[in-house]
């Protein structure tokens, strides 16, 4: 029985991992709303493997559209995080084990490759070729994953989360402080060999990009096969109800350990390629903020779905690492997102038109009042650049002392947004224009001038909003948990 079938219309009888009654409810939509859902169903008719091939092809062809060095670097980073998200999906999405120390396996893979392929150990160092060192590192990571998974036998979900969180922290501390002569300490390990195998050597960024696309596609294919095998079904059974699974003769402990080991192997693979591409590893590369990025990607895309994990991670990284690094492009993203949300969410055309017109009018009115009140209230210029700045210059209030006003505006915006969610529809229409204007105000005064903080705010907001609005992510499957 394929797990691909979602039960919005007619489920084919009982399925492991999907509550039949839930699935039958017509108003519980498993697909994205409206035309997106139609697109999803259409793409499902194509089949999973052709979709994977298409995605891989698209990824491989992308650089020839004139991607520069920066975009390639962002692409490489995004692909590494996508690989990590796919690995994390095994542990969190399929087996239901909340592993907050996943980044340690990534670090293990990177450091393992670094130690085996650089001048770090011994006088001349070990310089194994990649086809040797990568499997060795992956096996080592699997063993480490088994070791980490051992406490999971006796720990229930939340305890496991904390223990793994500490193990993740312990890894950073370990590599930073212990044996600095062997592990490099805070100086890390530098001058790592590139990936070398049978005379081939990858030294350029485009090379690593293609390698990562190939590795990601192959990993996703392997995991797809695993998903539909006995192991995959055992993982899902253990996630839903460990007691029932044990009663059905599934060796629950062994299954959990195998989930950890598989996730660790994928993470280590990502780590080795990362180490080779960066040519350096440092302890701070494997700290908690990276883990949060992986989780954000997994959550956005949908835990439990391979395609979801990869897609979510790619989207998050492209936005975080690529678009939000420069204020100009961040502006397009911000205004584009706001406009898109308003466009899609406001139902009747009239209402949409009224809200947009009211926002523009409100803006001009507010600015006129502010200018009449005091000249310094509109003395500053918008923080954006390019045509957006020219467009909003006469619309948005930007005081001379932008920072303080922007801060208050930020707090007010959060409060307004929370209020918007709570109130009735009529009040929502009334509150929308001031909220939109306030959003633009906060953007121009504070957020766009500090892109580094803004992108972190965005990651936090993604996690919060996604979990509240659509916990199963973009491509995930909705689950109902029976409380214990």
Q: In the window 374-393, what residues touch another protein (CB under 8 A)? A: 385-387
Residue 28 lies near another protein (rule: CB under 8 A): no
Q: Which is nearer to another protein, 139 or 454 (CB)?
A: 454
**Cβ of residue 289: shortest distance to another protein, in angstroms?**
8
Provide the minimum distance between the beta carbon of 439 and another protein in the complex, in angstroms, as a whole number: 15
Q: Report angle CA 431, 437, 439 to the nearest 5 degrees.
A: 100
The first and second tokens of residue 56, run together, are: 């891989």
34 binds another protein (CB under 8 A): yes
Pick the closer one to another protein by CB: 188 or 363: 188
**Angle made by CA atoms 455, 367, 451, in degrees to the nearest 5:** 10
Q: Does 25 bind another protein (CB under 8 A)?
A: no
Which of positions 168-207 make contact with another protein (CB under 8 A)? Answer: 169-170, 173-174, 176-178, 180, 185-188, 190
**Six token digits for residue 260:** 């950890």
Among 53, 179, 344, 379, binds another protein (CB under 8 A): 344
Q: Which stretch binds another protein (CB under 8 A): 13-21, 206-214, 249-257, 321-329?
A: 321-329
Q: Which of residues 76-135 bind another protein (CB under 8 A)?
A: 77, 92, 96, 98
- 71 near another protein, rule: CB under 8 A: yes
Q: Interaction with another protein in 135-154: which residues (CB under 8 A)?
A: 151, 154
Contact positions with another protein (CB under 8 A) in 246-285: 278-280, 282, 284-285
CA distance 429 to 354: 9
Footprint of another protein on 410-449 (CB under 8 A): 410-411, 418, 421-422, 446-447
75-80: list long-range contacts, CB under 8 Å, 24+ apart: 75/209, 76/205, 76/208, 76/209, 76/212, 76/277, 77/317, 77/321, 78/313, 78/314, 78/317, 78/318, 78/321, 78/322, 79/209, 79/212, 79/213, 79/216, 79/314, 80/212, 80/270, 80/273, 80/274
Closest CA to 432 of 364, 372, 345, 373: 345
Give me the helix-helix angle, 69-88 and 306-317, nearest 10°. 140
Question: Which one of residues 158, 249, 424, 426 is an interface residue with another protein (CB under 8 A)?
Answer: 158
**Helix (H, G, I), strand (E, B), or coil: what is residue 290?**
helix
Does position 47 interact with another protein (CB under 8 A)? The reply is no
Query: Binding of another protein at residue 457 (CB under 8 A)?
Result: yes
Q: Which two tokens stand for residue 76?
A: 């490489």
Q: Which residue, 91, 386, 48, is CA-closest to 225? A: 48
Which stretch in 45-53, 130-138, 206-214, 292-300 sits in contact with another protein by CB under 8 A?
A: 292-300
């Amino acid at each position: 029985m394929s797990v691909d079938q979602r039960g919005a219309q007619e489920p084919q009888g009982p399925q492991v991992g999907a509550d039949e009654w839930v699935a039958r409810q017509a108003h519980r939509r498993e697909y994205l709303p409206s035309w997106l859902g139609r697109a999803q169903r259409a793409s499902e008719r194509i089949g999973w493997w052709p979709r994977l091939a298409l995605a891989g092809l698209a990824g491989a062809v992308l650089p020839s559209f004139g991607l520069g060095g920066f975009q390639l670097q962002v692409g490489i980073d995004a692909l590494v995080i996508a690989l990590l998200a796919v690995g994390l999906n095994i542990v969190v999405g399929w087996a239901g084990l909340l592993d907050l120390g996943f980044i340690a396996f990534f670090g293990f893979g990177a450091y393992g490759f670094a130690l085996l392929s650089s001048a770090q150990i011994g006088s001349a160092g070990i310089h194994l070729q990649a086809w040797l060192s990568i499997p060795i590192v992956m096996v080592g990571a699997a063993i480490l994953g088994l070791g980490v998974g051992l406490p999971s036998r006796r720990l229930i979900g939340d305890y496991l989360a904390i223990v793994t969180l500490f193990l993740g922290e312990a890894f950073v501390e370990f590599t930073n402080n212990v044996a600095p002569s062997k592990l490099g300490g805070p100086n890390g390990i530098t001058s790592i060999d590139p990936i070398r195998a049978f005379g081939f050597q990858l030294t350029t960024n485009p090379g690593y990009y293609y390698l990562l696309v190939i590795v990601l596609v192959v990993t996703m294919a392997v995991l797809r096969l695993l998903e539909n095998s006995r192991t995959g079904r055992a993982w899902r059974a253990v996630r839903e109800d460990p007691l029932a699974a044990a009663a059905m003769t599934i060796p629950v402990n062994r299954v959990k350990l195998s989930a950890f080991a598989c996730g660790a192997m994928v993470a280590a693979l990502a780590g080795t390629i990362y180490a080779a591409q960066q040519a350096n590893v440092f302890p701070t590369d494997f700290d908690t903020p990276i883990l949060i990025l992986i989780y954000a990607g997994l959550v956005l895309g949908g835990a439990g779905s391979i395609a979801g994990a990869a897609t979510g991670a790619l989207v998050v990284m492209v936005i975080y690492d690529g678009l939000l690094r420069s204020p100009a492009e961040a502006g397009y993203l911000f205004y584009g997102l706001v406009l898109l949300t308003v466009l899609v969410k406001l139902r009747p055309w009239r209402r949409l038109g009224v809200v947009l017109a009211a926002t523009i009018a409100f803006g001009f009115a507010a600015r006129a009042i502010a200018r009449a009140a005091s000249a310094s209230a509109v003395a500053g210029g918008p923080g954006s650049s390019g045509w957006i700045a020219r467009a909003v210059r006469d619309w948005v209030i930007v005081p001379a002392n932008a920072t303080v006003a922007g801060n208050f505006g930020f707090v007010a915006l959060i409060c307004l947004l929370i209020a918007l969610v709570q109130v009735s529809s009529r009040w929502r229409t009334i509150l929308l224009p001031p909220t939109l204007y306030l959003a633009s105000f906060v953007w121009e005064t504070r957020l766009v001038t500090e892109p580094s903080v803004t992108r972190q705010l965005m990651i936090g907001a993604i996690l919060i909003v996604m979990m509240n609005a659509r916990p199963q992510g973009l491509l995930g499957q909705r689950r109902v948990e029976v409380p214990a």
